[in-house]
């Protein structure tokens, strides 16, 4: 490890108040509470209501996470949102969340289906470990209900909406994210797919008639894949963290199907008391399922300082992901290497130097622009005296006038060229394009 660790210091969740029970679904499709409970373990799920969007849920969960961490939105240096159901294709949901939250930082979205939160956590950890950022907000949020065909009993009984968020902060204590495992097998991508709406099958009447904007799933194929990768990814992440399964205090699996979770626990020989299950009340909330389950476990007092927890998931792609996280502070504090203790001050000094350098260059540019607008006509007239050619003199005079016109910032208007009072370069470029065809050289 580098000496820069990333610790979860804040957490929050949001789930819509509108609840859809198995009894409700019995009225919508040919299904039964008995079938849904025995095959999946799900009893009810939360579905967005009026005014609730992916962004509003993300922001609500993030505000809680910031409160727990004792931070303001402006303290956050990077936002990563994991989702497959953004409010818009463009702009990215992460930027919408950054704006609505009142944060002033870069933001981007990760889309790896149900494994999105663990992928985002691993990504955030990299930014912290390398020293790029000290405080990152990681969100998993989904409005999967918008992509569900409510007439397809194969899928509509499974999914729900919600959001979970964590604040990841730099620490010099060897806790927090200890290891991660990420995987992808695109050869089985068709097993869980929304065929339409993208570039391969764009939005059209035909696409809508084809119902291609909804999730389609080969449930059995995904089930088989999940039971294999959940155990394997957990083992790999635990080994990478230098731990054994006996050191894992709590497993937080993706909440898709109780049978998948039970099979993974059996494979790992973990008792179910060490496994978080809340899918009975939320269904499969995709990228939000792991953070929501984690926050519930915290609220129930099942996660305490010094514990090792393992998050593991599978999903569209097909992808898998696992991460081992040490909770709270370890018993033995560790001294931070000198280089990292001074890193924040070093970054500030280097930023100030860069800012000074840019300001100096800008001043020099403005000065050279003013100098060129005086010297260019002088230089041209000096050469003109020597030629004595009357026609050429007229051509050159018009050229000089045009040149002056061109490098005068307020009057120029060439499309596609950036022009401001502070930036004379583009105008100078335009001027040279105008001079050249006249044959001056």
Q: What whole-number distance in Å separates Cα of residue 45 and Cα of residue 227?
A: 23
Asked if the peptide bond before residue 46 counts as cis, ω within 30 degrees of 0, the response is no
If binding is defined by CB under 6 A, does position 195 make contact with ligand UT7? no
Helix (H, G, I), strand (E, B) or coil at 53: coil
- Asked if 197 touches ligand UT7 (CB under 6 A), the answer is no
Q: Which of residues 228-257 bind ligand UT7 (CB under 6 A)?
A: 256-257
Q: How far is the CB of 199 from ligand UT7 (least distance, A)?
A: 24
The dihedral of CA 60, 109, 5, 3: what is its sign?
Answer: negative
Q: In 3D, which of 366, 432, 368, 378 has the Cα closest to residue 402?
A: 432
Cα distances (Å, whole numbers) of residue 276 to 91, 128, 252, 261: 35, 28, 5, 9
> Among 193, 227, 231, which Cα is nearest to 212's?
193
| Residues taking part in catalysis | 114, 254, 284
Min dist. Cβ of residue 198 to ligand UT7 (A): 19
Q: Applying CB under 6 A, does 284 fall inside the site for ligand UT7?
A: yes
Identify residues 145-184 at the interface with ligand UT7 (CB under 6 A): 153-154, 157
Nearer to ligand UT7, 238 or 256 (CB): 256
Which positions from 13 through 52 interact with ligand UT7, judged by CB under 6 A? 31, 35, 39-40
CB distance 44 to 281 below 8 Å:
yes
For position 140 contacting ligand UT7 by CB under 6 A, the verdict is no
Site for ligand UT7, residues 306 to 325, rule: CB under 6 A: 315
Closest residue to ligand UT7, Cβ-based? 219
Torsion angle in degrees (nearest 10) through CA of 72, 73, 77, 78: 140
Nearer to ligand UT7, 15 or 56 (CB): 15
CA–CA distance, 194 with 210 (Å, rounded to integer): 12
Of 73 and 315, which CB lies nearer to ligand UT7 in the complex structure?
315
Specify the stretch interacting with ligand UT7 by CB under 6 A; choose among 221-229, 327-335, 354-362, 402-410: 221-229
Paired tokens of 5: 């660790």
Question: Nearest distance from residue 289's CB to ligand UT7, in Å?
Answer: 8
> What count of other Cβ atoms lies within 10 Å of the Cβ of residue 199?
5
Q: Could you say whether residue 114 binds ligand UT7 (CB under 6 A)?
A: yes
- Out of 205, 220, 386, 390, which residue is the one contacting ligand UT7 (CB under 6 A)? 220
Residues making contact with ligand UT7 (CB under 6 A): 31, 35, 39-40, 114, 153-154, 157, 192, 217, 219-220, 222-223, 226, 256-257, 284, 315
């Amino acid at each position: 490890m580098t000496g820069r660790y990333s610790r979860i210091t804040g957490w929050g969740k949001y789930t819509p108040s509108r609840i859809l029970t198995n009894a409700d679904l019995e009225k919508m499709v040919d299904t039964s509470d008995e079938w849904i409970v025995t095959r999946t373990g799900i009893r009810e799920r939360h579905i967005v209501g009026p005014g609730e969007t992916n962004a509003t849920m993300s922001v609500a969960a993030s505000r809680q996470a910031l409160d727990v961490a004792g931070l303001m939105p402006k303290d956050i240096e990077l936002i990563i949102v994991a989702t497959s159901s953004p409010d818009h294709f463009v702009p990215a949901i992460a930027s919408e969340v950054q704006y609505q939250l009142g944060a002033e930082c870069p933001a981007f979205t990760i889309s790896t289906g149900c494994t999105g939160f663990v992928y985002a956590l691993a990504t955030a950890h990299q930014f912290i470990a390398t020293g790029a950022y000290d405080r990152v907000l990681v969100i998993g949020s989904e409005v999967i209900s918008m992509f569900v065909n409510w007439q397809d009993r194969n899928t509509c009984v499974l999914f729900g909406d919600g959001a979970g968020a964590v604040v990841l902060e730099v620490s010099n204590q060897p806790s927090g994210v200890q290891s991660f495992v990420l995987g992808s097998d695109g050869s089985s991508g068709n097993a869980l797919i929304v065929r339409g709406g993208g570039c391969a099958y764009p939005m059209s009447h035909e696409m809508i008639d084809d119902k291609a904007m909804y999730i389609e799933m080969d449930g059995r194929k995904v089930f088989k894949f999940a039971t294999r990768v959940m155990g394997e990814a957990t083992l790999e992440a635990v080994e990478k963290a230098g731990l054994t399964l006996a050191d894992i205090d709590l497993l937080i699996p993706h909440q898709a199907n109780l049978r998948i979770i039970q099979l993974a626990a059996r494979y790992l020989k973990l008792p179910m008391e060490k496994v978080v299950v809340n899918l009975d009340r939320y269904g499969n909330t995709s990228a939000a399922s792991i953070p929501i389950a984690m926050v519930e476990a915290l609220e129930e007092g099942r996660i305490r300082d010094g514990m090792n927890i393992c998050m593991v998931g599978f999903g569209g792609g097909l992808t898998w992901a696992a991460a081992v996280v040490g909770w709270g502070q370890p018993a033995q504090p560790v001294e931070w290497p000198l280089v990292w203790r001074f890193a924040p001050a070093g970054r500030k000094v280097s930023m100030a130097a860069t800012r000074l350098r840019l300001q100096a260059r800008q001043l020099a540019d403005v000065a050279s622009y003013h100098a060129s607008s005086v010297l260019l006509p002088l230089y041209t007239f000096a050469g003109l005296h020597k030629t004595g050619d009357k026609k050429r003199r007229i051509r050159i005079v018009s050229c000089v006038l045009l040149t002056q016109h061109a490098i005068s910032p307020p009057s120029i208007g060439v499309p596609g060229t950036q022009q401001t009072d502070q930036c004379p370069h583009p105008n100078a470029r335009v001027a040279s394009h105008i001079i050249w065809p006249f044959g001056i050289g």
